[in-house]
Amino acid sequence: MLLRGVAGSGKTTLVQWLAVSAGRKDLDEWLVYLYGLVPFVLPMRSLTRSGAMLPAPDEFLSAVGCPIAHAQPMGWYDRVLTAGRGLMLIDGIDEVPESEREEARRWLRDLIASYPKNHWRATRHRG
């Protein structure tokens, strides 16, 4: 699913809200599909800063600066994503520098092809 909106319309706030909502046990009936999903928030602006390589799934936590990334159990991300329990929130796909966009598209296509059963959401500026 692609979420489009003008700058300042709340796309990043929505991504963060979806991530937090996935962990709640008192979801509205229209959000019950989020229950039990593991959110992965991937802010493209941060991930591509200074020409950095886009992360492999085992690098997601460290790539976003998670302070406990070193403590993740071996292979947990693969178990979650293979089971289709991931809520993949790709924020700001349009914020990738123009020269790196084809690589970013390939990265995203490869991730989706590798883990197709997950819930994929991406945001981009409408324009």
Q: Please state the domain count of the chain.
A: 1
Domain containing residue 37: CATH number: 3.40.50.300
pTM: predicted TM-score of the whole model, two decimal places = 0.88
- pLDDT one-digit tens code per residue, 4-56: 877 778 788 888 888 888 888 777 888 888 889 999 999 998 888 877 789 99
Query: When comparing pLDDT for 10 and 86, which is higher?
Result: 86
Say if residue 127's pLDDT is above 70.
Answer: no
CB 41 within 8 A of CB 15: yes
Structural domain including 51 reads 2-125
Residues of the chain above pLDDT 70, percent: 99
Say if residue 114's pLDDT is above 90.
Answer: yes
SS (H, E, C) 58-118: HHHHHHCCCCCHHHCCCCHHHHHHHCCCEEEEEECHHHCCHHHHHHHHHHHHHHHHHCCCC
